[in-house]
Amino acid sequence: MADVLYTGPIPAERGAELTMGGGRSETSALTGTGGGRGTATTQNSQRPNACCFCWCCCCSCSWNEEERQRWRRRKKIPDTKMETIPNCEACTKPSLEEIRLWSQSFDKLMRNPAGRNVFREFLRTEYSEENMLFWLACEDLKQEMNKSAIEEKARSIYEDYISILSPKEVSLDARVREVINRKMQDPTPHTFEDAQLQIYTLMHRDSYPRFLASNIYKALVHGGSRTPSESYS
């Protein structure tokens, strides 16, 4: 298996591939930040348990998996390839007024836990849920005070979302990657601040308009908290 910590020469074909992709480099980012983990880690290897506060259509606890699959086949929505989806955020049921406020600005959507859950479900249908997962991981890192925990969480974020070897790699430009590589030598709660802003902007510009036009959001606006199986029957 490929090693995230590999710092040797890059084969010619791989080097050309990286050059065409914008010159991304990560060969030294993880050196000295606490070794021992040679491959990208996958968090939450088990499917989530039903969370007691779930209400919306985004969570696996909203209806059983068989019904979920029937609904996806009926609506011709492809199943996500990700088999490990972390638990959704605990949230209270939003009012119809709150749901409608999500269309006024992306910031209002992202400030609301229920809004983030529904938006995550939409991103999952577009195979881009990793953008939200990365953003949430960065928010979690910002709350950490313990230095060893900061280093461990920063390392996990790097391996899960920044490494070019990760299947959940997010799309970042070369400048931001270079900044991260430097900051990873001494991680802080704000190591991924530039990257988080870039992904936030990407979701705002590309995914948010499609979310507002999606059946997932329209069902909530017109039907309150009904599940997709109820809304689209």
Tokens read off for 44: 């939450």
Which pLDDT band holds residue 60 (cuts at 50, 70, 90)? very low
Residue type (1 letter), 88: C
Q: Which pLDDT score is estimated for 29?
A: 57
Q: How wide is the angle at C-alpha 26 spanned by C-alphas 176 and 190, nearest 5°?
A: 45
Per cent of the chain over pLDDT 70 is 58
Compute the residue count for the chain: 233
Query: pTM for the complete prediction?
Result: 0.62
Residue 91: band (very low, low, confident or very high) from pLDDT cuts 50, 70, 90: confident
For the cut 50, the answer to whether the pLDDT of residue 48 exceeds it is no
CB 151 within 8 A of CB 187: yes
Query: How does pLDDT run across 18-38, given as a tens digit for each residue?
Result: 444 444 445 445 654 444 444
Write out pLDDT tens, residues 163-175.
999 999 999 999 9
Give the torsion sign (CA, 95, 97, 102, 105).
Answer: negative
Q: How far apart, in whole angstroms, are the C-alpha atoms of residue 74 and residue 95?
A: 28
- Which residue in this structure is represented by tokens 């992904």? 199
